[in-house]
A and B are shown apart, each in its own frame.
Chain A
Amino acid sequence: MNTPQERKFALLEAVDLEVHYGGIAAVKGVSFAVEEGEMVCLIGANGAGKTSTLKALARMIPSRGEIRYKTERLDRLPSHALIKMGLALVPEGRGIFARLTVAENLAMGAYHRSDKAGIAADLEHVYGLLPRLKERAEQLAGTLSGGEQQMLAIGRALMGRPKLLLLDEPSMGLAPLMVEKVFEVIRAVAAEGVTIFLVEQNARLALHTCSRGYVMESGKITLADSSARLLADPRVRAAYLGE
């Protein structure tokens, strides 16, 4: 028998997740799991329900179905409780505090923490990972370039010392060179042992970065496989890789 003690829990698991906006279903019962230390992506076209799925995971919008983080039921928690459990969101469109400085933005990332020494160490660590932020520490975040703002959003999430990072379309609106840099940072964060769940429209980049992927179409997950096999799949190649 599967008692809770014996069962092996994934780091993050969604079962029959549904999101409705008024009468319209944006996410129609999706299930997926992310194991600790993995890099997993959710790809799909515009309007497929990717961002709604991620927002539901982060408890920013109401949803039906079960969301589990280790053994805890996330679907019963408010959004602000998640960071304390080690789950950080990098929102769509960066979502930085434009009229605060870079340093103040990073400090806000540690809002829920009170261990001053730990926060200072993490700040040094983030500055080491993202040296541009250190150069611009006293600048207002709203005056940064798009790529720098994305870096700042990631840096701010790291200040919460997360175990799991949820990234919503980090490549959106960025120049190709900047996209490459942002993804280098994401890989570096993963290399430090942070689990990554990435929602991305740029399927090729996402699949080349992550080891596994889910493909979402009109609110449902239609394919789930390793990145290598998805990259080789003729349906994925035709629909998302432009081949």
Chain B
Amino acid sequence: MKRQTLGLAIVALALLALPLVLTQIGTAWVRIANLAILFIFLSLGLNIVVGMAGLLDLGYVAFYAVGAYTWALLASPHFDLHLPFWVILPLGALFACIAGAVLGAPTLRLRGDYLAIVTLGFGEIVRIFMNNLSAPFNITNGPKGITRIDGMRIGDFNFTQTDTLLGIAFTGPAKYYYLLLLLLLGVIVVNLRLQNSRIGRAWVAIREDEIAAKAVGINTRNVKLLAFAMGASFGGIAGGMFAAMQGFVSPESFVLNESIMILAMIVLGGMGNVWGVIAGALLLSFVPEFLRYSVEPLQRAVFGRMLIDPEVLRMLLFGIALVLTMRFRPAGLWPEKRHQREMSQALEGTGA
């Protein structure tokens, strides 16, 4: 018990010190850490839909886009609106939630590959809308995107400038980091509670057998809609924070690749398990960035020139890593407990 507390304290301290250390290496790394946390938000949201309720959603990035554009449109010179964060962030979550229900309602009878195709289409539709809603009325400013978006600001505390506290300089990204860490704590608590709740059990029941779920009295329609809506709202919050941090959004940030990446994070980490999903999101956020910064100097040092473009190598290594994981740890790096049990019981079964 005591050791656990100590371990937790060390992790907490490390997380709190992280941006100060990263700032020494380069502010870019603090930004990368912030994006990693956003990807944890997104993976945990998608995990509700795919991991718990078993509904394969390939258009999840659409909800991220809805959240981001909500912030961008309501807090930028584009419409000359500058609403405070406590209005836009919940509003972004709400709009994403509604978008989730809009996607969920017509797809209630679909499962597996069919659902995957429809959700994929939905994700693309949202992106194309953002791309084209510039005429006859300029709503989204089309492919040029929206610039000079307001940053996060709580009262007089501005997240875009550097502040000095006790002789330590806290840059903008570092301040965002602490805010995101706080939000993340909330998101994790909500997810852990959901996992063991009545509604969480209903999601798992639907994933396992829909007819049986109906037979035990689960209103599968409402419960599925709730999975879509709740999962989407996490995406909406992440989107809002993304817009605030970057100060710029355009449809390019919300392509299909992003949806696939988020799905890969939860599959790699361990579908259904909150900690596995977090591990997957961290791994797939940091390793590619690390490669981006290391591959080029390494090649120059060894070969004296660039042989392979880092971007190409990154995708290659990423693909190999996914294939190897699926080959040797098919339930993910850190699987849901019941997955683990299933595997070990299957092994016992063959041994007996």
Contact = CB atoms under 8 A, between A and B. Distances in A.
Interface of A: 58, 60, 78-84, 88-91, 95-101, 104, 107-109, 111-112, 139-140, 142-143, 153, 156-157, 160
Contact of A58 (B215, B219, B338, B346): B215
6 contacts: A80-B217, A83-B215, A91-B212, A95-B211, A109-B216, A156-B216
Interface stretch (B86-94, B183-191, B198-206): B198-206
Contact of A96 (B212, B221, B345): B212
Contacts of B198: 111
A99 B208 contact: yes
In the complex, the 6 A-B pairs of residues with the closest C-beta atoms, listed nearest first: A112-B217, A97-B208, A95-B212, A83-B217, A79-B214, A89-B215
A154 to B, nearest CB: 12
A81 B341 CA distance: 33
Given A95-B211, A153-B212, 8 more contacts: A95-B215, A97-B209, A100-B204, A100-B338, A108-B205, A111-B205, A156-B212, A156-B216
Interface in B320-352: 338-339, 341-342, 345-346, 349
A46 B346 CA distance: 33
B125 to A, nearest CB: 29
A55 B208 CA distance: 19
Contact of B345 (A107, A143, A153): A143
Contacts of B339: 99
B160 interface: no
A60 B339 CA distance: 29
B219 to A, nearest CB: 5
Contacts of A78: 219, 221
B208 A98 contact: yes
A97 B218 CA distance: 13
Contacts of B204: 97, 99-100
A160 B216 contact: yes
A139 B349 CA distance: 12
A171 to B, nearest CB: 19
Contacts of A142: 342
Contacts of A157: 215
A230 to B, nearest CB: 29
Contact of B209 (A96, A140, A143, A160): A96
B217 A91 contact: no
A83 B346 CA distance: 33
Please indicate which of the listed interface residues B215, B216, B218 has the most CB atoms of chain A within 10 Å of its own CB.
B215
Interface string B68-82: 000000000000000
B216 A140 contact: no
A82 B217 CA distance: 7
Please indicate which of the listed interface residues A111, A112, A139, A160 has the most CB atoms of chain B within 10 Å of its own CB.
A111
Given A100-B338, A108-B201, A79 B215 contact: yes
Given A97-B204, A108-B205, A111-B202, A140 B212 contact: no
B299 interface: no
A146 to B, nearest CB: 14
A139 B348 CA distance: 12
B212 A88 contact: no
B346 A91 contact: no
A188 to B, nearest CB: 21
B216 A112 contact: yes
Contacts of B202: 111
A80 B219 contact: yes
A176 B299 CA distance: 68
Please indicate which of the listed interface residues B198, B204, B217, B342 has the most CB atoms of chain A within 10 Å of its own CB.
B217
A100 B217 contact: no
